[in-house]
Structure 1
Amino acid sequence: MKNRSYRPITTLQFILVISTFQISVAFLTLPRELAAQAGTDGWIAILIGWAIATVAALIIVKVMKYHPDGTILDLLKRYLGAWPAKIAAAVLGAYYFTLAYDGYVITALIIKVWLLPTTYIYILVILMMLPTFQIAQHGLQVIGRYSEMVAMLSIWIPFIYLITLRYAHWLNLLPVLKEGWMPVFSAARSMVSPMLGIALTFFLYPHLTKKERAASAVVISNSFTCAVYLGITIICYLYYSPDGIMEYNNPVIGIMKSVEFKFIERVEIPFIAFYLFVFSCVWIPSMYIVSYCSKWLLGKGTDRGHLAVWCAVIGISIIIYRSGYQDAYRLIRNFNLIGFIMEFAMPVCLLVYLAIYTRIKGRKPI
């Protein structure tokens, strides 16, 4: 893959692109989603989700070793043929288009509720598309650098949440496993959406400069995501009562109301404004992959041209169909099954197929 489309990314960029993608939108509602099914034992489900996601990510790395200089589409073309690869390009393009669309809608709704109540949703989305186009058109290398920048600028956020521990009620966490393991296992199913993003490895792997570090990189990436989810979930459980957390759609934002400084009264307002950078880490990589898949499928055009078309499609669709909070979050919940198939089940099936194929053909991974 040493051609003009090759844009090398470092191991750190590889880690942060995946982690920021996972943390972005799911970060705000995860404590409430887990509490709805497992109460204050929901934090245990995060550990289960981390273990499953890490295994799936390692399987994806193993799959990519069969064709390290190409993306998943190139691998499928080599081992399955042109038409299955084209179908995969269409399916993956639709998958990431839906993720980008939902990310845009949820972000625009949050901005409208907390910052700009009189601004139309479609105007906010169009404004968000401008930086998306400017960054995504330059490929994964620039997206990796952007994720690095966002991560460095976000270092202060955990310290703000630690301030809320002065209102903590530690007895909220006790007793552990109040109703047994079944509610925890049920809540673990809600961890599919927050851990979506490991499939980015299918497209990042050929650009990774040190591919021998890919396995350790995905473990670090998922562990970092798990640590962030675990920290904010436990803090929310300590701050809210077991029943009180259910009154907030976005408890992660609501908890910021307890933080006060002499120089600023409402900390949650600049927090949301800044967090737009983190939100963008889901739709920028998604839009790039959508344009990459459509270009690969059609075999003509430029990444920039395809990206412009898909940005226009999202803008027009949001103008025509104006989603609300319930519609956006319902889509994410319904995405659990699709996401599980695309990012957890499919890599396992693909690895089994490749292992059998190479054994029959007498080939070895490159």
Structure 2
Amino acid sequence: MEEEMTDKNLSITKFQLFFIMLQSQIGVGLLSLPNVVQKTAKGDGWISPLFAGVAVQVMLVIYWQLLKRFPNLIYTEITQKILGRFLGKLINLVIYMNFILVGGLVTILFIKIINLWLLPLTPNWIISILILTACIYLAVSDLRIIARFFVLATSLILLLLFTSLLSWFTPKEIQYILPIGSSGIKNILLGTNNSLLAMLGFEGFLFMFPFIIDNKKGVFKTISMANIFIAIFYTYFIFLSLISFSTDQLAQMREPILNLLRGITYKMVDRVDLIFLSIWIVPMATSIIAYLFLASKSMNVKKKNYPRVVLLNGFIIFLITLIPHNDATTTLFNKYVTYLSYGVVFIIPSLLLILSFLFKKHESSESA
């Protein structure tokens, strides 16, 4: 670990951390989220991502407290420090499996969208190869290059925000979300669960923290600002979708955000949704890059072996995408990956923090 810490190519700034957090969380899930959330929360679906943002912020506090006790260690090293070598490695295997399976799920959803909207006649395995080749190429790069790419890719998120402003010229019905709170707190919380799944990716902070250059002052503020942006970003697009389409219409749309853009037409520009999707491929790919990086880092390999590990993990994800995936199997796969992700993202870090206090496990460091 000390060898890695001295490598400037593995260091990032707090500015870059902000954009890494954004790109890790925004991707494929955004396009279908309004459809998923409205199934339970109905017109109150726009409230769910706000609750999800609060839940993420609570976890960021837990992450911050844990990492302050071990400022020079990444997540999979902290597990061994607290739980011991054997149990720590067992937990690390679960963490690794989670990143691989989530990466596989994101890639499958990515392929489905491309196949449905852009390339209906292209075999899925070809789309998978094209996507993963580009993602592996970036994931084998050092962290600083990945961070710089994520900063540049964020401009495309701003493009989506700008494009969405054009949709305000189409008819809107505010009554679709009225009366506020009519769905009940239970259904809103069920929608919060779906929003949380779309926001996953913030757990990457557990691996990024040791590589932040200079002192760590202001890091918590940085990740909190990123979380606030994400929560507002998702809330805005769900709100926009809810006042643009009725509940019945949303239930029939797999990717409401694209349908929203589809209604924008000008004399010289048509099918804005397809133009946008062609550009949105980059932000969708950043999620896969992030999970490839996290999966490879979780194996605690030496720097010289890292590129081969990324290639291996990319190949494993490719094999996952080859498994026949109809809507039923994708839903089932998503369900079990969700359970695993909750354990890795929420339960394990919380238990590690509690055990670190009980067993008085910590690492002395001036940067803490």
* TM-score by shorter chain over 0.5: yes
Aligned counterpart for 1:79 among listed residues 58, 82, 105: 82
Q: Determine whether 1:202 maps to 2:188.
A: no
User: Which deviates more from structure 2 when the two are superposed, residues 138-147 or residues 216-225?
Assistant: 138-147
Instruction: Give the drift of 1:156.
Output: 1.8
| Partner AA of 1:183 in structure 2 | N
- Give distance in 1, aligned partners of 2:230 and 2:327: 25
The answer on whether the counterparts of 2:67 and 2:209 sit within 8 Å (CA) in structure 1 is: yes
The residue that corresponds to 1:68 in the other structure is 71
Q: Determine whether 1:124 maps to 2:91.
A: no
**CA-based RMSD:** 2.0
Instruction: Give the drift of 1:322.
Output: 2.5
Change (3 A) 1:66 1:107: same
Q: TM-score, normalised by structure 1?
A: 0.92
- Alignment deviations for residues 109-144 of structure 1 (CA, whole Å, 9 cap, x no partner): 111111111111111111112221211111322221
The answer on whether the counterparts of 1:136 and 1:142 sit within 8 Å (CA) in structure 2 is: no
The residue that corresponds to 2:29 in the other structure is 26
| Partner AA of 2:173 in structure 1 | H
- Secondary structure of the 2:298 match is helix
- Alignment deviations for residues 32-70 of structure 1 (CA, whole Å, 9 cap, x no partner): 111100111011111111101111012111101111112
The answer on whether the counterparts of 1:136 and 1:287 sit within 8 Å (CA) in structure 2 is: yes
**1:154-165 mapped onto 2 (5 Å cutoff):** 154-165=157-168
The answer on whether the counterparts of 1:23 and 1:194 sit within 8 Å (CA) in structure 2 is: yes
The residue that corresponds to 1:3 in the other structure is 3
| Partner AA of 2:273 in structure 1 | E
**1:97-112 mapped onto 2 (5 Å cutoff):** 97-112=100-115
- Secondary structure of the 2:44 match is helix
Aligned counterpart for 1:45 among listed residues 45, 48, 56: 48
- Secondary structure of the 1:3 match is helix
| Partner AA of 2:353 in structure 1 | L
**1:216-295 mapped onto 2 (5 Å cutoff):** 216-295=221-300
- Alignment deviations for residues 162-220 of structure 1 (CA, whole Å, 9 cap, x no partner): 22123111121211111432221232222231121121111010111242222112211
How many equivalent residue pairs? 361
Change (3 A) 1:133 1:364: closer
User: Which deviates more from structure 2 when the two are superposed, residues 48-57 or residues 321-330?
Assistant: 321-330
Instruction: Give the drift of 1:364.
Output: 6.2
Q: Determine whether 1:138 maps to 2:150.
A: no
Instruction: Give the drift of 1:329.
Output: 4.1
| Partner AA of 2:293 in structure 1 | Y
Instruction: Give the drift of 1:80.
Output: 2.4
**1:342-357 mapped onto 2 (5 Å cutoff):** 342-357=344-359
- Give distance in 2, aligned partners of 1:202 and 1:313: 23
- Alignment deviations for residues 311-346 of structure 1 (CA, whole Å, 9 cap, x no partner): 222223433x12234433443344333222211222
The residue that corresponds to 1:328 in the other structure is 330
Change (3 A) 1:265 1:327: same
The answer on whether the counterparts of 2:35 and 2:256 sit within 8 Å (CA) in structure 1 is: yes
| Partner AA of 2:200 in structure 1 | L
- Give distance in 2, aligned partners of 1:192 and 1:290: 20
Aligned counterpart for 1:338 among listed residues 323, 337, 340: 340
In the alignment, structure 1 segments of 5+ residues that lack a partner are none
- Give distance in 1, aligned partners of 2:105 and 2:17: 23
In the alignment, structure 2 segments of 5+ residues that lack a partner are none
The answer on whether the counterparts of 1:295 and 1:306 sit within 8 Å (CA) in structure 2 is: no
- Give distance in 1, aligned partners of 2:100 and 2:129: 16
Change (3 A) 1:156 1:317: closer
Change (3 A) 1:45 1:300: closer
The residue that corresponds to 1:186 in the other structure is 190
